[in-house]
């Protein structure tokens, strides 16, 4: 199993958990859990594959990923009520999923011989878009827009770390690891210690 | 005209009616009616065709479908004010459109030689995504997330019925009919008799 | 540089400004500015390229467009607080972007030998979808749905003007100009003078 396939698998499972947690917050039935889990788990990678024009979307050639996503949905369905705070669980799991999905996007874009700017963007898209779809459909404020939190920045820094490491070493695993750790360190730091970038504050708009 | 083309045609017309009804509820002008009708009518099938990498999106090789969708928009523009309840009309028409679009998705996926899990998902995507786009853009609670109603479940059961029937008979029309009837029976039962699955109810989340 | 590449470049820059203005209204950090600018700037053209099955998305073969979009984001980040009304700036810039993106969509569809109805739709999609994504993600009422304002109508009329001009002259620049001017005249007239189409007004729905 290639490193890319493994990353896809892990990010599908963890993002599916966050989708199912969102379904539990919206009090859906089990099929709603399946639906939101799959959308969150597969959305970012699907968009990546459509954009780089891969011959087939990753989960169509590996439909067992749909079962992985459904397993995650079932697991949450039977355990979420035990969580202290489902929002907090969602945010922490989302941070791990982000840290796994960004390198998955970077690896796929490099495998498709994309130029560096496109690699950067594909890392961000793969990491952020599944969660964005989840939040838009649930009509929650997208995590990426939560004021002052480091999110897009983490994905950007992670993709950037991958590009820099790639210049320094020929070992792809080192690159993927640097990417994942950079992404997660920034995002987790923001969640745990309230790290943030300065946000835009202007006079309140007249209307 | 193939069964698939006919299903696409019917689902375009009926979903366009629901899109136009949503436009009437949002009090748009006639071009807004055209826009929401087309988005709802073509959204699900477009996503399906992009995902299974069909050589061309269905309405690009059959642009007369755009006229069909516009006709539906005009029809609603001149009649919606006579309806007792436009929400109820929208929900019932949506149930019929769902029951027509799910088999259209299943048939297209089978024609593209997809594995069973992917066929299942394509039936659900084709059936649900147009309406989901309509609801997200109009900023209404997506039908698929209305608490406890059977919607994704109906699409899932319909796709599943198609897969089972396919094992039992070589007659594609029987399969499409089984799929449509299963989908509609469950969705209509939910609308008419309040059938529902148990929804997820946990302690209210702390934050 | 072809006329199409130039139109893509201009629409990317101007739509990126509107995306960054939306980011300033949502008080995001600088990476949030980059993200919303790129999404707005590239969303419509990306969808167009996916739908007409171009061999590559326009910004993947021209990744410098990502830098253009980021430049626009930086420019807004350092100047938006000086604006009298950021909403009004956003709407006026959006009208110019619309008037540039509609001909870009028309030109791409004609270059791909699409039939006239599809050309019409691609003009509208390219013009409207980036802004629509921006507004859905920021959870604002999409410009296209602002009651009674001329927006989709302007894109439709502009695309239509292109198709008519194409019959009258073999000069593509005349066609693109007719398209841009028609689109902008209608949209700007709506903003400046309150031009509007009759909107749908029925009895209030019972529920």
What's the pLDDT score for residue A93?
92
Does A51 map to a domain?
Answer: yes
Does A34 sit within 8 Å of B51, measured CB to CB?
no
- Please report which confidence band the pLDDT of residue B1 belongs to, taking 50, 70 and 90 as the band edges: low
How high does pLDDT run on average in chain C? Answer: 89
Count how many domains chain C has.
Answer: 1
Q: What is the pLDDT of residues A124-175, one digit of tens each?
A: 999 999 999 999 888 888 887 777 788 889 999 999 999 999 999 888 899 9
> Do the domain assignments include residue A88?
yes
Q: What is the pLDDT of residues C36-49, one digit of tens each?
A: 999 999 999 999 99
C92, part of any domain = yes
- The band of B203, judged by pLDDT with boundaries at 50, 70 and 90, is low
Query: How is C124-190 classified by DSSP, letter by letter?
Result: HHHHHHHHHHHHHHTTSPPGGGSTTB-SHHHHHHHHHHHHHHHHH-S-HHHHHHHHHHHHHHHHHHH
User: Is residue C113 left, alpha or beta, with left meaning phi > 0 and alpha meaning psi from -120 to 50?
Assistant: left
Residues in chain A: 207
Yes or no, beta carbons of C31 and A153 under 8 Å apart: yes
Q: What is the mean pLDDT of residues C48-75?
A: 92
Q: Does A107 have pLDDT greater than 90? A: yes
For residue B32, the SS3 value is helix
Task: Give the range of the structural domain holding residue C184, as residue numbers without chain letter.
Answer: 3-193
Q: Is residue B81 part of a domain?
A: yes
Of B35, B46, B85, the CB nearest to C152: B35
Length of chain B: 207
Domain assignment present for residue B157? The answer is yes
- DSSP codes, C108-121: HHHHTT--HHHHHH
Nearest alpha-carbon partner for A123 in A108, A107, A102: A102
Question: What distance in Å separates the CA atoms of residue C55 and residue C34, rounded to the nearest whole number?
Answer: 26
Q: Would you say residue B174 has pLDDT above 90? A: yes
| In-domain check, residue C198 | no
Structure confidence by residue, pLDDT tens digits, B118-154: 999 999 999 999 999 999 888 888 888 777 788 889 9
Note whether residue C87 is domain-resident: yes
Mean pLDDT score, B44-71: 91
Chain A residue numbers with beta carbons less than 8 Å from the beta carbon of C28 are 145, 147, 199-200
Contact state of C33 with A200 under an 8 Å Cβ cutoff: yes
Residue C62 confidence (pLDDT) above 60: yes
Region C135-147: mean pLDDT is 83
Interface check for C152 against chain B (CB to CB < 8 A): the answer is: yes
pLDDT tens-digit profile of C64-120? 999 999 999 999 999 888 887 878 888 899 999 999 999 999 999 999 999 999 999
pLDDT value at position A34?
92
Kindly state whether residue B202 falls inside one of the protein's structural domains: no
Averaged pLDDT for residues A36-43: 94
Residues across chain C: 207
DSSP A187-201: HHHHHHH--BPPPP-
Pairwise CA distance, residues C90 & A207, whole Å: 12
The answer to whether C126 contacts chain A (CB < 8 Å) is: no
């Amino acid at each position: 199993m290639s490193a890319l396939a493994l990353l896809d698998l892990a990010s599908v499972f963890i993002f599916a958990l966050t989708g199912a947690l969102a379904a539990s917050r919206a009090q859906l039935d089990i099929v709603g859990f399946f639906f939101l889990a799959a959308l969150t788990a597969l959305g970012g990678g699907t968009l990546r594959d459509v954009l780089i024009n891969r011959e087939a979307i990753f989960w169509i050639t590996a439909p067992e990923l749909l079962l992985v996503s459904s397993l995650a949905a079932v697991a949450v369905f039977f355990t979420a009520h035990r969580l202290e705070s489902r929002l907090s669980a969602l945010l922490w799991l989302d941070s791990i999923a982000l840290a796994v999905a960004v390198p998955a996007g970077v690896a796929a874009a490099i495998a498709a011989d994309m130029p560096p700017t496109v690699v950067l963007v594909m890392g961000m898209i793969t990491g952020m878009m599944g969660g964005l779809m989840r939040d838009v459909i649930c009509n929650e404020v997208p995590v990426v827009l939560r004021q002052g939190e480091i999110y897009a920045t983490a994905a950007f820094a992670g993709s950037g770390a991958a590009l820099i490491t790639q210049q320094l070493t020929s070992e792809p695993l080192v690159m993927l690891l640097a990417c994942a750790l950079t992404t997660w360190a920034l995002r987790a730091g923001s969640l745990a210690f309230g790290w943030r970038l300065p946000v835009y504050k202007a006079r309140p708009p007249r209307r």
